[in-house]
Amino acid sequence: MLVEIRNLRVQFPTATGLSDAVRDVSLTLGQEKLGIVGESGSGKSLTARSIMRLLPGNARISADRLAFDGIDLLRADEATLRKIRGGRAGLIMQDPKYSLNPVMTAGAQIAEAWRVHRGGSRKAAGQAALDLLTQVQIRDPERVARAYPHELSGGMGQRVMIAMMLAPDPELLIADEPTSALDATVQAEILRLIEDLVSRRGMGLILISHDLPLVSHFCDRVAVMYAGRIVEELAANELTRAKHPYTRGLLDCLPSLTHPQARLKVMQRDPSWLT
């Protein structure tokens, strides 16, 4: 197993005591594509970031088991964690406008990721950066390598981000809403690129999204999160057989061209889902 999570709990201190953001989440992941779906604040990002131990400084994390390729992440020291971060697991975030360093060129940021995990000279790293840019289907890698993030379009920036995370050849890629900040036309291209790279390199993928149909189309398995819990986990092609009322509610409120409805259903939330 690449990733094992058993009873993960993430809490934040507030004025009125600890507040649970992730509650008793259990997941396993092999060389497959897992989608995590849920609304804002459902704990999907925190769950995924726990795997890289990239939570905000004030977060309290605990679990019966949290392991990456057999390594206990809760007991691992900083050096071990740093080898996993970037080296064996990459993270792609939502908006390249904020997630790329604005005062470093795209090339320098990719080369940095390469050198940290693979060593080698500056020159070799620069060459590797150009090669990676080509792999993410950028036509003019020299120009993009010299460009600062604000000079790149959203789609271009996200390609740079992907190239940066692929540099050390990781086994797991976490994509945290990688297309939410992009134009609809670019979204499909980026997703196709990720899918292509993941299957070609045989990586595991965790795709986080609030878009249920997109995730089920794209992944092997889907976990649905609500209020810090996984309420349902099922194979992507069995989505229509979902049992939990929250998943059903999500599916029912989607418009459909083949079965048009006069009025879309509105989700009725049940307080019992919280317990």
Partner 1 sequence: MTASRVRQTLASVASVPLTLFGLILVTFLIGRAMPIDPVIAIAGDHAPPDVIARVRTELGLDKPLPVQFAIYMGQLLHGNLGNSVMTSHPVTEDIARFFPATLELATVAIIIAILIGVPLGVVAAWRQGSRFDHVVRVVSLAGQSVPVFVLGLVCLLVFYAKLGIAPGTGQIDVAYEGMVPPITGMLVLDAALEGDWDSFWNAGSHLVLPSLVLAYFSMAYITRMTRAFMIESLAGEYIVTARAKGLSATRILWRHAFGNIAVRLVTVLALAYAGLLEGAVITETVFSWPGIGLYLTGSLLNADMNAVLGATLVIGLVYLVLNLLADLAYRLLDPRVR
Query: Which SS3 state, helix, strand or coil, does residue 222 take?
Result: strand
**Segment interacting with partner 1, rule: CB under 8 A, options 19-27, 108-116, 205-213, 217-225:** 108-116
Pairing outcome for strands 33-37 and 204-209: parallel
**Structure-token pair, residue 145:** 């390598």
Sole binder of partner 1 in the list 113, 133, 198, 207 (CB under 8 A): 113
Residues between 119 and 158 that touch partner 1 (CB under 8 A)? 148, 150
Q: Does 12 bind partner 1 (CB under 8 A)?
A: no
What letter represents residue 160's amino acid?
Answer: V
Distances (CA, A) of 102 to 106, 150, 179, 208, 229: 9, 7, 20, 25, 35
Site string for partner 1, 46-85 (x = CB under 8 A): ------x-x-----------------------x---xxxx
**Structure-token pair, residue 180:** 């939410």
User: How many angstroms separate the CA atoms of 233 and 220, rounded?
Assistant: 11
Query: How many chain residues interact with partner 1 (CB under 8 A)?
Result: 30
179: number of Cβ within 10 Å: 24
Closer residue to partner 1 in complex, CB, 67/224? 67
**Structure-token pair, residue 270:** 């049940």
Site string for partner 1, 154-183 (x = CB under 8 A): -------x--xx--x---------------
Sole binder of partner 1 in the list 22, 36, 61, 91 (CB under 8 A): 91
- In the beta sheet, which residues pair with residue 90? 173
Q: Give the residues lining the site for partner 1 (CB under 8 A).
A: 52, 54, 78, 82-87, 90-91, 93, 95, 98-104, 112-113, 116-117, 148, 150, 161, 164-165, 168
